[in-house]
Amino acid sequence: MSGLLAGTGSFGLFGLACLASLRLYCGQNYYKIFAWVYVAFIPVLLALQFYLWKTGSAFWPAVWQEPARMADLLIAFMLYTLLVHGFWNFAHGAALTGFSAGILVAMRKRHPQPLSVAEALDWYGVQQGENRAVLKRLEQLTRKGYLINTPEGFGLTPLSRHLTQSVYFLKKIFKMGVGG
Amino acid sequence: MKAVLLAFVFTLLWIALQAVLFNLFEARHRSKWMLYSFVPTLPLLAWVYRVSPKQLGCLPAAWSQTANPVGIFTATVLYIVLALTWYQVYFYIDRPITFRMFIEIFKAPGQRLTRSQLDQVYSLEFMVQKRFDDMIRNGLVQCTDGLCQLTPKGQSLASVFNFSKVLFGVKS
């Protein structure tokens, strides 16, 4: 029981800290904020779990408590990490970089005026003859060592080749589409 | 600890079930298939927790003495969170633009693609149109003569996204 409470409580504090930090942060690497706040709250999680595990039986019946502290700590840590991952994912898709989310929000703003696909294409640079979404990724992936730029074109590095093979394998197992 | 193990085992079995279902049937609305295959496993998890041995044949005695209701509650919470994590991972694999680019390069002759070749195999038009098609299929948007409007469902979701952007302090 104390593990569940410690995990959820730490996640709540993590969420508040992230929202506050993002308001102060001006860059684009949001994931760094999440990662740092996640790490910063691990000691809070440990302290909260320790406190609740020691004093929990004053609040709830003793049989509600995990008898082994390590098992309780594992539950707390697992819950905290998985909730943080969910928060991160939601923030990423719904607010920070989501492609479809961006289109939906833009359509909401101009409601009831309709939006054409041609206009949406314009936002991503089709009139300038460039695909900004791909262009931005090509630059980033080359800089981070996932792609190499040769005279014959862009190629995969050993790391991105392994990654691609794994993704390809999983796509086959779950019969997924081409994606993108 | 029994709760953690059972939550993991059930998550793995649920993932395996999806692989079978998606190969057997033409599942277009994958999220719905995931949800419908997940819900019936919740009471099953509670039942398995109740009838299975306390130590599951492998746990130390001191690690397996939690009362049944709390154990079932813990297992259910962890199972739901693990399932949601898998749901997100599934779409990490299925959707990203980056993986699509990697796969196109991987499949290309000599595993090399120039920018213009990449534009041909994975164009911006395809990228945007695919998203509109998905939104239409999911009932978020309706289009007439090339002009698209949000449906009430799309309005609600757009409001959630807009609120998230405000919450995170992101300019929309």
- Mean pLDDT by 10-residue block, N- to C-terminus, for chain A (180 residues)? 89 91 78 89 88 80 78 90 91 74 84 81 68 80 90 90 91 83
* A61-86 per-position pLDDT tens digit: 777 777 778 888 889 999 999 999 99
What is the least distance, in Å, from the CA of A58 to any CA of chain B?
16
- What residues form DSSP beta bridges with B147? A116, B144
When CB atoms are compared, the residue of B94, B149, B154 closest to A176 is: B94
B123 and A CB contact within 8 Å: yes
How many Å apart are CA B87 and CA B31, to the nearest integer? 8
- The answer to whether B113 contacts A153, with C-beta atoms less than 8 Å apart, is yes
Q: What is the pLDDT of residue B40?
A: 94
When CB atoms are compared, the residue of B111, B119, B168 closest to A19 is: B168
When CB atoms are compared, the residue of B73, B95, B124 closest to A179 is: B95
**ipTM higher than 0.95?**
no
Number of domains in chain B: 3
When CB atoms are compared, the residue of A102, A156, A176 closest to B93 is: A176
In a 3-state reduction of DSSP, which class is residue A155? Answer: strand
User: In angstroms, how far is the first alpha carbon of chain B from the final one?
Assistant: 44
As a whole number, mean pLDDT of residues B62-68 equals 71
What is the least distance, in Å, from the CA of A94 to any CA of chain B?
5
A73 and B CB contact within 8 Å: no
Tell me which of B40 and A3 has the higher pLDDT. Answer: B40
* Statement to judge: residues B144 and B128 lie in one domain: no
Q: Domain range for residue B128?
A: 103-133
Domain boundary, last residue among B36, B67, B95? B95
Q: Provide, as residue numbers in chain B, all residues whose Cβ is less than 8 Å from the Cβ of A97.
A: none
A176 and B CB contact within 8 Å: yes
Q: Provide, as residue numbers in chain B, all residues whose Cβ is less than 8 Å from the Cβ of A106.
A: 172
For the sheet containing A153-156, what is the strand order?
A147-150, A153-156, B112-113
* Statement to judge: residues B24 and B66 lie in one domain: yes
* Statement to judge: residues B14 and B55 lie in one domain: yes
* B12-27 per-position pLDDT tens digit: 999 999 999 999 988 7
Q: What is the pLDDT of residue B92?
A: 86
Q: What is the pLDDT of residue B172?
A: 60
Q: Show which of residues 38-77 on chain B sit within 8 Å of chain A, judged by CB atoms.
A: 60, 62-63, 65-67, 70, 73-74, 77
ω into residue A114 within 30 of 0, thus cis?
A: no
* B113-169 per-position pLDDT tens digit: 888 888 878 777 788 888 888 888 888 888 888 788 899 998 998 888 888 888 877
* Statement to judge: residues B114 and B165 lie in one domain: no
* Statement to judge: residues B19 and B69 lie in one domain: yes
Helix, strand, coil percentages for chain A (3-state, nearest 5)? 70, 5, 25
Q: Provide, as residue numbers in chain B, all residues whose Cβ is less than 8 Å from the Cβ of A83.
A: 81
How many Å apart are CA A52 and CA A73, to the nearest integer? 11
In this complex, how many residue pairs, one in chain A and one in chain B, have their CB atoms less than 8 Å apart? 244
- Residue B62: CB atoms within 10 A of its CB come to 13
Structure confidence at residue B55 as a pLDDT band (50, 70, 90)? confident
What is the least distance, in Å, from the CA of A23 to any CA of chain B?
6
Q: What is the pLDDT of residue A127?
A: 63
* Statement to judge: residues B23 and B57 lie in one domain: yes
* Statement to judge: residues B142 and B129 lie in one domain: no
Q: Is A101 left (phi over 0), alpha (psi -120 to 50) or beta?
A: alpha
- What residues form DSSP beta bridges with B112? A155
Which of B9-18, B55-64, B108-117 bottoms out in mean pLDDT, i.e. has the lowest?
B55-64
- pTM, rounded to two decimals: 0.80
How many Å apart are CA A171 and CA A180, to the nearest integer? 13
Q: What is the pLDDT of residue B56?
A: 78
Residues with Cβ within 8 Å of A86's Cβ and at least 6 positions away in sequence, in order, are B81, B84, B85, B88
Q: What is the pLDDT of residue A70?
A: 84
When CB atoms are compared, the residue of A94, A102, A174 closest to B18 is: A174
Residues with Cβ within 8 Å of B34's Cβ and at least 6 positions away in sequence, in order, are B18, B87, B90
How many Å apart are CA B172 and CA B169, to the nearest integer? 9
Q: B132, A106 in Cβ contact below 8 A?
A: no
B82 and A CB contact within 8 Å: yes
* Statement to judge: residues B40 and B73 lie in one domain: yes
- The answer to whether B128 contacts A124, with C-beta atoms less than 8 Å apart, is yes
Mutate: best of B8, B94, B116, B117, partner A, most A CBs <10 A: B94
- The answer to whether A131 contacts B94, with C-beta atoms less than 8 Å apart, is no
- The answer to whether B1 contacts A68, with C-beta atoms less than 8 Å apart, is yes
